Amino acid sequence: MSQPGSHDSDVIGNGGELHQAPAPDGPVMTTAQGGAISDDQNSLRVGDRGPTLIEDFAFREKMFHFDHERIPERVVHARGYGAHGTLETLEAIPELTMAAPFQEKGTKTEAFVRFSTVAGNMGSGDVARDVRGFAVKLYTSAGNWDIVGNNIPVFFIQDAIKFPDLVHAVKEEQDRGWPQAASAHDTFWDFISLMPESTHMMLWAMSDRAIPRSFRFMEGFGVHTFRFVNAEGKTSFVKFHWKPKQGLQSVVWDEALKINGADPDFHRRDLWNAIQNGDAPQWDLGVQVFDEKFAESFDFDVLDATKIIPEELVPVRTIARLTLDRVVDNVFAETEQVAFMTQNVIPGIDFSNDPLLQGRNFSYLDTQLKRLGSTNFTQLPVNAPRCPVAHFQRDGHMQTSHQQGRANYEPNSFSGADRGPRADNARGFATVPREESGQTLRIRAESFADHYSQANQFWRSQTPVEQEHIVAAFTFELGKCEIEDIRTRMLSNLRNVDDELAQRVADGLGMPLPEASTPAAAPRHDLPTSDALSILKNGPTSFAGRKIGALVSNGTDADAVAALGAAVTKAGAMLELVGPVVGGVTLSDGSACKVDHGVDGAPSVLFDAVALLPSAEGAAALAKRASAKNFVTDAFHHYKFIAHDEGAAALMAAAGVEPGADGGVVALGTAKDASAFVDTCAALRFWDRDIQP
């Protein structure tokens, strides 16, 4: 054995002892320069207890990189998760756009999608009440095209100049540093109550849209009005929609709070597990297309990002399907370094004069430079186009492209490789010619003045259950405001939306209903309702992709577990077993049964429905445990479907849930009962349950 101070590659020091290190089975560890490392356990020092030497380049490089591992997180959308996939064209539309993905049916375009929350930092919980980012990068044959959207089709503000104020207001208050990932505080509602244009967005944000059950079960929207341009230069307006094939689904507020406590990575884990299990989520890409003349017939301005175009007015036309089928290899390299920018468009896509979009086009490039530290961020693999790239942009931090030729400018008089690339008027991006005239003014168009009509339309389009949730959300959030004037001002604005809504929120706050604020334009309360605005009217048609949590114990009927498992598998869903302890249980036939969770670590909020299958003896023991009783009580109070066998009686009694309490509490006796229960679960919730939300 070597003596202290030896640097043989097979020697490791450990607590003053030295021993032989086995030869590596895999690749040899190297420095970033490619040099092989002999010892990654000990820094270079004088003697066995002397000072560390500055010449230890391996230690210096390792610590240098560690010290710089973190880049500034995104100011907004910091909490995100990404996945790879493919966009397949279902309908070619060259008559509308020359965008490369849509010229031929069957075209497949590589995609990367990043889902996110807006307000919280990277360490915040997944299931905060918040807008969700839904950003899609398409690596087309004509360059990268980013559709940088949200899961809500409208936004808080009409002009980008107010974006810093919005974000400052919703972020933690600067004098106290909280709350984190929450809008229920004074500065946010102070801002909102003084910005009536935000009212429509707040109806969406206080709805169940802001607490989705999964990334897989939410819509995405491009938010802004863009332009399609065909090969002849003809243009039309377009709005982009992502419709989940899995149907829409959200959670109730109490459930969201408990999910964040039980699993703050709930949405991340859900997406990861679905893809890894082969249940690749899909969305249909749909478009609303209309011309300028049709746009002028609307009662609102299509350039106003606080407005939607109802699908009943302009139907959504499905043209492609997005499938996410591969998780990232490295969250930092891909999810955190991906750079989305609204200005990333390709020939066939162009901008409108939406002032919020115009501002985003300016802002995003600056943001990427701040975060990623170099103008060469486009060379990072997750950002690099999949088509040829040629330009005269040179040097800068972290330049990695192998640039050839003599000239780094144009025009130049060289030829061949020394000449370099040139612009191509025929194939290059050409901005749509349009006439612009008028004085240069800081002014808001009168066509942007109606802030309440579509908010009323959204309210009336919700089911009674969804309306109750909106009222509860406003009541909770405004109830967290310490300044009474803010609550009063918001109630005044809500009166312009709907008097019943305002009164119910005022009652929840225990406040008198104030006079309505004076609107900039008289609101309409007669716009047609739209089923597309309701989550419950757009839910799934089956239980596929969902999860049942079955509580089991020693002595659980083996046939009951098998029958339920078969029914769940047939439905394309998942069954996870929850035991008294994570070590497993012994079933009635004497077989050892592994469980996925111990009940203390797996509350029922993690599942879409539950089954109670303990033996009578097991149920009696579980009835003495708070976690087991809460498993049942929470499932009942969250309107979930509950299946049970006879053995569960003692546990159900302890939880205050009677067998047959309502149509959502179902007894299991046979395999046929199990299949019927899973079919019933497609409704996701038993909203007729007589409890307070």
In degrees and rounded to multiples of 5, residue 550 shows phi and psi of -105, 120
Catalytic residue among 144, 150, 344, 493: 150
Q: Quick one: tokens of 580?
A: 């008294």
- Measure Cα distances from 255 to 120, 135, 372 in Å: 19, 26, 37
Alpha-carbon gap, residue 74 to 120, rounded angstroms: 10
Q: Are strands 17-20 and 609-612 parallel, antiparallel or unpaired?
A: unpaired
Spatial contact of 223 and 150, defined as CB atoms under 8 Å apart: yes
**Per-residue confidence (pLDDT) for residue 5, from 0 to 100:** 40
For the stretch 426-434, contacts whose Cβ atoms lie closer than 8 Å and that sit 24 or more positions apart, written own/partner, are: 427/347, 428/347, 429/345, 429/346, 429/347, 430/233, 430/347, 431/350, 432/227, 432/229, 432/233, 432/235, 432/350, 433/233
- Measure Cα distances from 5 to 10, 11, 16, 51, 61 in Å: 13, 10, 11, 13, 21
SS3 265: coil
Which residues lie below 8 Å from residue 297, measured CB to CB, with a gap of 6+?
none
Alpha-carbon gap, residue 592 to 523, rounded angstroms: 65
Alpha-carbon gap, residue 219 to 242, rounded angstroms: 5
DSSP 554-582: TT--HHHHHHHHHHHHHTT-EEEEEESST
The percent of the chain in helix, strand and coil, each rounded to the nearest 5, is 30, 15, 50
Residues in a beta bridge with 597: 578
Alpha-carbon gap, residue 468 to 491, rounded angstroms: 16
Kind and range of the H or E element at 500?
helix 499-509
Helix 464-479, helix 484-497: angle, nearest 10: 160
For the stretch 578-586, contacts whose Cβ atoms lie closer than 8 Å and that sit 24 or more positions apart, written own/partner, are: 578/549, 578/550, 578/551, 578/552, 578/602, 578/631, 579/551, 579/552, 579/553, 580/553, 580/554, 580/618, 580/621, 580/622, 580/625, 580/628, 585/552, 585/553, 585/554, 585/556, 585/618, 586/554, 586/555
Helix 484-497, helix 186-193: angle, nearest 10: 40
SS3 46: coil
In degrees and rounded to multiples of 5, residue 547 shows phi and psi of -140, 135
Which residues lie below 8 Å from residue 382, measured CB to CB, with a gap of 6+?
112, 333, 334, 337, 338
CA-based radius of gyration for the chain? 29
Spatial contact of 341 and 362, defined as CB atoms under 8 Å apart: no
Torsion of CA 635, 637, 638, 641, to 10 degrees: 50
Spatial contact of 205 and 183, defined as CB atoms under 8 Å apart: yes
**Per-residue confidence (pLDDT) for residue 443, from 0 to 100:** 85
CB atoms within 10 A of CB 288: 21
**Per-residue confidence (pLDDT) for residue 425, from 0 to 100:** 83
- Measure Cα distances from 474 to 131, 203, 471 in Å: 15, 9, 5
Cα 565 → chain centroid = 30
Closest CA to 290 of 233, 208, 226: 226
Kind and range of the H or E element at 105?
none
Alpha-carbon gap, residue 242 to 669, rounded angstroms: 41
Q: Which regions of the chain are under pLDDT 50?
A: 1-20
Annotated catalytic, 397?
Answer: no
Which residues lie below 8 Å from residue 557, measured CB to CB, with a gap of 6+?
587, 588, 613, 615, 645, 647
DSSP 439-473: -------GGG---SHHHHHHHHHS-HHHHHHHHHH
Q: Quick one: tokens of 573?
A: 């869903």
> pTM of this prediction?
0.93
Q: Quick one: tokens of 439?
A: 């004085």
Alpha-carbon gap, residue 652 to 669, rounded angstroms: 17
Spatial contact of 469 and 208, defined as CB atoms under 8 Å apart: yes
In degrees and rounded to multiples of 5, residue 64 shows phi and psi of -60, -45
Annotated catalytic, 77?
Answer: yes
Q: Quick one: tokens of 587?
A: 């079933």
SS3 531: helix
Closest CA to 327 of 46, 81, 74: 81
SS3 185: coil
Burial degree of 178 (CB within 10 A; 0-12, 13-18, 19+): exposed
CA atoms within 13 A on the CB side of 386: 12
- All structural domains of the chain: 1-69 (4.10.91.20), 80-153+211-379 (2.40.180.10), 544-683 (3.40.50.880)
Burial degree of 30 (CB within 10 A; 0-12, 13-18, 19+): exposed
**Per-residue confidence (pLDDT) for residue 13, from 0 to 100:** 41
DSSP 8-state symbol, 478: H
3-class DSSP string for 378-422 = HHCCCCCCCCCCCCCCCCCCCCCCCCCCCCCCCCCCCCHHHCCCC
In degrees and rounded to multiples of 5, residue 255 shows phi and psi of -65, -40
